[in-house]
Amino acid sequence: MELPMYDTLLSLPLFQGMSQADFNSLLQKIRLDFVRYEEGATIISAGERCKSFAFLINGTVESSREGMEGNLSFMEQIDVPFLIEPYSMFGRAGNYQRTYTAVTPCSFLMVDKQYIYTELGKYNICRMNLLNILSGRVQQLDSNVWKLEASDLRGRIIRFIRSLSDTQNGTKKLIVKMNDLALLMDATRLNVSRELNALEAAGLISLRRKEIFIPALENLI
């Protein structure tokens, strides 16, 4: 295996901190599938069964999810390195929650879920990395729920966008009618419109018809 690819694999969330000796031993026991997708290709569809750990190792993808009542859609761009929905691998459902589409030509490393039980679980560092990934997700969601200090309307709007996001930086897009967003924010349509226009005037978002575009969530936060 070429050194750049070797270093890329060791930088992936599940393998970070793993010694080269352990990693070489692991490579002899598990199957690694490298898959390339062209721009615009659907990589994973919402509702699809989680059968493999999918690591984004090259390129950019967009994740999207529809509201349960069809009243909003949320999209965000994701860059490398990234592990697609490890929290959806286990539990009662076991299905992906979002649809993933290639924004640029991109490459994925696929590791069959069975190897988590048969091989990866034998390495303490892999178990701890997976536990940290899952714990980080739970802590992020819990933090968003309990940030009660953001009681003003602008704070509630920002917190809502953050709660929809898998990553707390990068490009996001929320498609929602102003009336529906006002209901979600427990505010009037006029007040929501004023706050959004103020954020646009500050260069933090861009407003289009039924669409809120956030070029960099980290700046909005």
- CATH class for domain 3-62+80-144? mainly beta
pTM across the whole model: 0.86
Residue 148, pLDDT score: 56
The yes-or-no answer to whether 3-62+80-144 and 147-220 have a common fold is no
CA 81-110-95 angle, 5° bins: 95
Residue 3, pLDDT score: 47
d(CA 221, CA 219): 5
Supply 126's token pair: 């892999």
| Domain segments of the chain as ranges | 3-62+80-144, 147-220
**How is domain 147-220 classified at the CATH fold level?**
Arc Repressor Mutant, subunit A (1.10.10)
Work out the pLDDT band at 157, boundaries 50, 70, 90: very high
d(CA 101, CA 98): 10
Measuring CA to CA, which residue among 12, 9, 136, 2 is closest to residue 81?
Answer: 12
